[in-house]
């Protein structure tokens, strides 16, 4: 057992698992008084899976930390735990990531209001609002029309962060994506298009109809309802053109944030030097998404890793005596999968595991609910392999030779259903035995050629520990994960 695992085990209060009352499903106490639109499917789902019972004191959490591994399907988790152990010379198959030791585990159906397979916007929005919506939309229910600004009126639903702020909790978001990207934006944005990240992305009719871009929505509302901590990439959407940003309205939203009393940092070393007592913190460490592990190493960039951002966010938010809600997204898992870079996706999954271990080590399991989930899966497949074979390698055959497929070429252990790693159209697949499969920039083979891999629609795993964690079990839905958090924080 490694240090992270030990911390994870220590952090799990003895007897937590036994709090799950046999035969009583405490998954989602639906609050009908919130007058939300709910589809027939959700009503049926609630009837099947939710038996409303009041939260006992043991189920109440002071703090909730939600980790989302973007695109972190079950095959990604299995491959990452093998990879993590093999990196330190240990047995991969029997390893587990930090959160895989949590006492509660549920499988989650991830479909969106209009698709068998969700995108990150609809997936994260369902987790953060308890309402399924259309792919591409955020903070709205399924009555919205994609890209139609006027349809936001009447379809807006409150996010967990907004409910938490109204109750006096501190709130924050950490992501390795642009902080205006779909998953982090699900905390604060209400929009029919995830693309509207800066005003340069807004179509003229949306401007005329009064819609605000996502970056502006983050910092334009009443101060009392704004997030307290925002750490990630995406500086371009906050800065005007003359400051190398994308904004057309000339506003420097980072200057406005500083003028309102918030701290603003742009590098990892500046983040480390943020003075104790800082209550409001904005960190934008890249113009767009932050760098994946391999590029970071190659360029020696002074940007924080997910774990450093998570630790700083908890330090700042935990000063609030009434508690806090923090969402942390490992965004680059998805971004690496989209371009067929399996090793980079595994690096980012291992980093998420480290961030969870760090959160466990600095919080009290008696008052902090920690949930680790995903928005959707990706088509990564583990084809086989001997116990001591590198997960990055080839299916072993006789003696030193790899196994051969019917086309006479080796079989990669990791490959994708779709993506740019496919053979060029009209060509046969390359022999992976001729490739350096340990090179993190070497694309893994994909069966179907696409510029960007398609998300996949199988259920994802959700792990939980701490007060209220017993609500995570069995077959769930994304909106039920919202209800677990809402109930634990006793939000209206
Ligand atoms: Zn994606």
Query: Tokens in use for 332?
Result: 């680059």
Residue 120 falls in the annotated catalytic set: yes
Ligand 1: distance of its center to the CA of 128 in Å? 18
Q: How far apart are CA 435 and CA 46, in angstroms?
A: 50
Element at 127 (helix H, strand E): helix 120-129
Strand order in the sheet with 281-284: 263-265, 281-284, 229-233, 170-178, 324-330, 63-69, 368-374, 460-465, 104-109, 474-477
Largest Cα span, the chain: 69
From the CA of 373, how far away is ligand 1's center (Å)?
15
**Cα(71) to centroid(ligand 1), Å:** 6
The angle subtended at Cα 131 by Cα 360 and Cα 418, nearest 5°, is 75
Alpha carbons 467 and 19: distance in angstroms, whole number:
10
Query: What whole-number distance in Å separates Cα of residue 313 and Cα of residue 230?
Result: 8
pTM here is 0.89
CA-CA-CA-CA dihedral for 281, 284, 290, 293, to nearest 10: -50
- Whose tokens are 């152990």? That residue is 85
Give 467-478 pLDDT, tens digit per residue.
999 999 999 999
Distance of CA 440 from the midpoint of ligand 1 (Å): 19
Q: What is the pLDDT of residue 54?
A: 53
How far apart are the CA of 246 and the centre of ligand 1, in A? 23
> What are the tens digits of pLDDT across the range 286-336?
999 999 988 888 888 999 999 999 999 999 999 999 999 999 999 999 999
- CA-nearest of 118, 106, 238 to 183 is 118
191 CA → ligand 1 middle, Å: 18
pLDDT in the model for residue 55: 62
- Tell me the two tokens of residue 283: 């960190």
Q: Which stretches of the chain score pLDDT less than 70?
A: 1-55, 57
Give the pLDDT confidence score for residue 296 in this predicted structure: 86
**Which one of 28, 120, 155, 175 is the catalytic residue?**
120
Other C-beta atoms lying within 10 Å of the C-beta of residue 341: 26
Q: How far is the CA of 377 from the centre of ligand 1 (A)?
A: 9
Domains delineated in the chain: 3-12+57-379+460-488 (3.40.720.10), 383-453 (no CATH)
Q: What is the pLDDT of residue 212?
A: 93
- CA gap 351, 353 in Å, rounded: 5
d(CA 439, CA 441) in angstroms, rounded, equals: 5
Please provide the DSSP assignment of 457-474 as one string.
-S-EEEEEESTTGGG--E
Cα 122–Cα 452–Cα 190 angle in degrees, nearest 5: 25
How many angstroms separate the CA atoms of 171 and 149, rounded? 27
Distance CA 394, CA 422 (A): 17
């Amino acid at each position: 057992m490694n240090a992270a695992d030990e911390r994870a085990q220590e952090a799990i209060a003895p007897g937590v698992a036994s709090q799950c009352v046999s035969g009583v499903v405490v998954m989602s106490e639906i609050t009908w008084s919130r007058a939300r639109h709910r589809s027939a499917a959700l009503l049926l789902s609630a009837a099947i899976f939710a038996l409303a019972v009041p939260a006992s004191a043991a189920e109440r959490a002071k703090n909730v930390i939600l980790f989302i591994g973007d695109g972190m399907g079950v095959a990604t988790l299995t491959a990452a735990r093998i990879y993590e152990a093999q990196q330190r010379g240990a047995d991969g198959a029997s390893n587990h990531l930090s959160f895989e030791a949590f006492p509660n585990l549920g499988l989650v159906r991830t479909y969106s209001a209009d698709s068998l397979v969700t995108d990150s916007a609809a997936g994260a929005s369902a987790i953060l609002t308890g309402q399924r919506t259309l792919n591409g939309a955020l903070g709205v229910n399924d009555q919205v029309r994609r890209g139609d600004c006027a349809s936001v009126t009447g379809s807006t639903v409150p996010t967990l962060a907004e409910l938490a702020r109204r109750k006096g909790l501190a709130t924050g978001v950490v992501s390795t994506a642009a902080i205006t990207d779909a998953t982090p934006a699900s905390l604060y944005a209400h929009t029919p298009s995830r693309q509207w990240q800066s005003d340069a992305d807004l179509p003229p009719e949306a401007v005329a109809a009064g819609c605000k871009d996502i970056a502006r929505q983050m910092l334009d509302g009443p101060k009392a309802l704004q997030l307290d901590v925002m750490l990630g990439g995406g500086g371009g959407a906050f800065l005007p053109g003359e400051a190398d940003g994308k904004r057309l309205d000339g506003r420097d939203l980072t200057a406005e944030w500083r003028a309102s009393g918030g701290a603003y940092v742009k590098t990892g070393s500046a983040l480390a030097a943020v003075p104790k007592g800082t209550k409001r913190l904005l960190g934008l460490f890249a113009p767009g998404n932050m760098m994946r592990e391999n590029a970071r190493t190659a360029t020696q960039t002074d940007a924080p890793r997910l774990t450093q951002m998570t630790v700083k966010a908890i330090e700042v938010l935990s000063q609030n005596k009434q508690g806090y809600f923090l969402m942390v997204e490992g965004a680059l898992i998805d971004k690496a999968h989209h371009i067929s870079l399996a090793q980079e996706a595994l690096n980012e999954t291992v980093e998420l595991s480290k961030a969870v271990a760090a959160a466990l080590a600095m919080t009290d399991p008696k008052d902090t609910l920690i949930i680790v989930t995903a928005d959707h899966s990706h088509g990564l497949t583990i084809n086989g392999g001997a116990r001591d074979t590198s997960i990055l390698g080839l299916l072993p055959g006789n003696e030193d030779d790899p196994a051969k497929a019917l086309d006479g070429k080796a079989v990669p252990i990791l490959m994708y259903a779709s993506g740019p790693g496919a053979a060029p159209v009209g060509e046969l697949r390359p022999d992976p035995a001729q490739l350096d499969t340990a090179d993190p920039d070497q694309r893994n083979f994909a069966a179907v050629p696409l510029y960007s891999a398609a998300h996949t629609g199988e259920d994802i795993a959700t792990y939980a520990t701490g007060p209220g964690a017993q609500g995570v079990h069995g077959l769930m839905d994304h909106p039920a994960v919202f209800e677990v958090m809402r109930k634990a924080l006793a939000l209206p």
